[in-house]
Amino acid sequence: MIKNLEAQLVSSERKLLDGLNSPIKIQSFLNTVPYSEDEFYRCPLRVLRDRKAHCFDGAIFAAMALRRIGHPPLILELIPNARDDDHILALYKQYNFWGSVAQSNFTGLRYREPVYRSLRELVMSYFDDFFNSAGEKTLVGYRGPINLKIFDRLEWMSSETGLETLSTDMDRYRVHPVISGEMAASLTPVDKRSLLAGLMGANEAGLFKVH
């Protein structure tokens, strides 16, 4: 529960979080956090203290921060083919339109303005930016939205203990395909300039190893 998180914050941490009073400020904070190559999960409290996060860590941090300013803690998983990592977004709504906040090793897979009428529309805004380090477009579907409130028993905002369970339980949600197998087989590679732009500033150790 959020009270348990608040009880563990020191004054400087609470002041920082209080300043994250809009989705773009939450994104701006995540943009300062180096991408983590670590294979374990960090809870939002540890992200705040370590200043390090991969996409899962960043999404649940953003979900926590959005919750503190009145949004439900919603996340969505972007599903790739077998040649890439998945990607997690924190979702929010404004004027009944969807937007998102995210941490990513790729420049194009982060913030989206709240201008999308449906979740599929939001997801498809990531399609051309969702590629692996070999320049292959890999997005095939999505899962969610998932309301993290149902995982409050795991103390996900302030403890790592239940994060593996949270991640595993996400797999129970149905995947919504966005392209067919035939379409996936005919996708063109990303052009060189887009590939370089997408990888600008990337932590190479945190990239999916394409063989």
d(CA 190, CA 135) in angstroms, rounded, equals 5
Q: What is the pLDDT of residues 41-92, one digit of tens each?
A: 999 999 999 999 999 999 999 999 999 999 999 999 999 999 999 999 999 9
Domains, the chain: 2-203 (3.10.620)
Q: What is the pLDDT of residues 121-145, one digit of tens each?
A: 999 999 999 999 999 999 999 999 9
Q: Which of 128, 121, 55, 126 is nearest to 93 (CA)?
A: 121
Structure tokens at 109: 């897979």
Burial class for 42, CB neighbours closer than 10 Å (0-12, 13-18, 19+): buried
Q: What is the pLDDT of residues 137-182, one digit of tens each?
A: 999 999 999 999 999 999 999 999 999 999 999 999 999 999 999 9
Beta bridge mates, 114: none
Q: Give the ranges where 106-147 is alpha helix by DSSP (H).
A: 119-124
pLDDT at position 148: 97
Q: Taken in order 75, 78, 116, 108, is the CA torsion positive or negative?
A: positive
pLDDT at position 1: 63
